[in-house]
Every structure is written in C-alpha cells, then in structure tokens.
Amino acid sequence: MIPFAGNPLNRASEKRTDSSWIESKRHDPSSLVLPMWRLAPLLLEQKLTAEQPELGLLRPDIVDSLASAGAPCIFLGLDGDVAVFALDVSDRADPSKDGPLAGLGHFVEARAAAQAVSMRDAAIIAQAKAMIDWHQRHGFCPRCGAPTKLVDAGYRRLCGECKAEHFPRTDPVVIMLATDGDACLVGRGKHFPRGMFSALAGFVEPGETIEEAVRRELMEEASIKVSEVTYYATQPWPFPSSLMIGCFAKAESRDAKADDIEIAEVRWIERSVARGLINGKRMDGIMVPPPIAIAHHLIKAWALSEK
C-alpha cells in the first residue's frame, strides 16, 4: 500500500448537506475530532514512546474551546457509526502546551506525523491536512474578492457577494519512471539533498492528458522521447493538494540530458542497483526517496519486476 492511500473512513458525502445532522454529530460525545494546529495534526503523548504513535482523535468537548468562531471544522467521514471531524485550531499559540490538551500530546508536522503513524492514520492526515489547507487559502472569492464562507461540512465555500461556489481542489501531477530494458531514468532536482535521485515529475497542464503530460515532462526535463506510457498507481499528496499519478514510460533511447532548470542531473541506473536503493542502501553515491513517496514504489515495482 502507498502511504496516504487507503483512507478507512466512509466519507458519507450524502450527509454533508444535512446541516442539522452535522451539527448534532459535531457535539455528540461519541464523535471524534482531530485538532490541527497550523496544518500539523495532534499525536497522542502516551503513545509517543510506543512503536507507532496514534492520531489525537478526541471527544468534541475537549477541543471545542480551542477553536475561534468560524474556524474550519471538516466532516471527514464515518468510522463505523462514529463521526470523525478535523478542526482548525491555528488561531492561537500552540494549544498542546496548556489548557485541555496539556499533557495529551504534541502537534507534529504532517509529513513527519504521517511517517510515524499507521497507514490508516496517515490517510486521515492526508484528507484533514489538504482540506484545512484549502480553507485557509480560500477565504476570499477569486471571482469578486468578497469573503467566502464554509458550507457543506467543509466541502464547499460560497461567496457572500456574487454567490460563486468554490470546491476543494486537487492538482494532478504526473510522476514517471522512464525505462529502457534493464535500466531506468532518475533525476536529481536542483533543491534535492545531496545524492538524492527520484522519478521525474510535473503538473498536468489544462487541456492535457496524463500520457501527454508524461511525454512533455520527460522531454522538457531530460530531453527523452518515450513511446508507450502505462499507469501504475496514484497517491494523494497533501503538500498542499496534489494527486500524484505514477506511470512508467518506455524510452526510445538513453540519450538523456538534464534541463539544468528544475533538474540538475539525470542518470540511468541498472535494475540491480535499483534493488539495492529501494532497500535504503546508498549505491554509486546515490539514494532514492523513502517509502512515503510514490517515487519509491514506482522504482520498487520496476526493480522487482522480471523484465
């Protein structure tokens, strides 16, 4: 399974427009609320020493006093019969230091938190983080500039002036591994840590298919022409709101060259080298991203395939 995928919650989207149901669940003692402070989820203190910390899903009455009026509260979905919400508590100093959360846990940056918790909790973090981030950045209507307000339990914002509706966005990004026989192409982004190489990636542009984006990005970043493009898997990537679309692409030659704009260096690596890299080894002075990134899984799937 790829991290951030596999969200265990039933999104129960039909309930979002039922404001009396949402309001009653929001204060129901059996419901759970994940406080998010400046996009960092709460992880529980007593679990921090355990092998795998747990998400700070708390009873509504514990977190209610932390949010200012109008702070985004998102209905994430149902876990069985239990309604689960995410609440933005960013408007004050770190709420884990005192008040009702004191001693319960810590707010941990979303990427680090996701690598510490279970896959199930990581997927909930992806949803909560992407949603709250979107609300924080869409307080004003892009059409007329007037304030917008949260409706439908967080899945829509409505402009009070021109009545335009705004929906949470997900930006598609292609991430692809060009291959030629027993070698695959990896690149080092200009801002990557020393020795880090990954699959090449880029945003899908308006009016473009996934396959076209894969071909264009490989040509732009590595001067590589590819023939067949095949889909591998997708990954929600809440930094801030991408959907990573993993693909393989058959290269027509190994004549690759980094663009020196986004990519500093490209390299073909042999399958035997790739097998070592995905086990966390540094080989030939290079390493690849850890399992939180879909790039890791693309390289792994190819490295472990027969041909």
- Which residues of this chain interact with Zn ion, rule CB under 5 A? 141, 143-144, 146, 159, 161-162, 164
| Minimum gap (Å) between residue 154 Cβ and Zn ion | 19
Q: How far is the CB of 161 from Zn ion (least distance, A)?
A: 5
Query: Measured from the CB atom, is 58 or 159 closer to Zn ion?
Result: 159
d(CA 57, CA 79): 12
For Zn ion, the closer of residues 157 and 188 by Cβ is: 157
Block residue for tokens 């932390």: 66
Q: Which is nearer to Zn ion, 124 or 159 (CB)?
A: 159
- Cα–Cα dist 135/157, whole Å: 8
92 near 115, Cβ under 8 Å? no
In the numeric block, which tokens belong to residue 296?
Answer: 């890791």
Cα gap 107→56, rounded to integer Å: 9
Q: Which is nearer to Zn ion, 159 or 245 (CB)?
A: 159
Rg (CA), the chain: 22
Minimal distance, residue 149 CB to Zn ion, in Å: 11
Nearer to Zn ion (CB atom), residue 113 or residue 141? 141
In 3D space, the residue among 142, 144, 147, 112 whose CA is nearest the CA of residue 3 turns out to be: 112
User: 65 with 59: CB under 8 angstroms?
Assistant: no
Shortest CB 139 distance to Zn ion, Å: 12
Nearer to Zn ion, 124 or 141 (CB): 141
Nearest approach, Cβ of residue 137 and Zn ion (Å): 16
91 burial level (CB within 10 Å; 0-12, 13-18, 19+): middle
For residue 165, CA distances in Å to 117, 129, 160, 257 come to 35, 21, 10, 44
CB of 168 to Zn ion, least distance (A): 17
Spatial separation of the C-alpha atoms in residues 257 and 275, rounded to whole Å:
24
Q: Which is nearer to Zn ion, 112 or 144 (CB)?
A: 144
- Give least dist CB 135 to Zn ion, A: 16
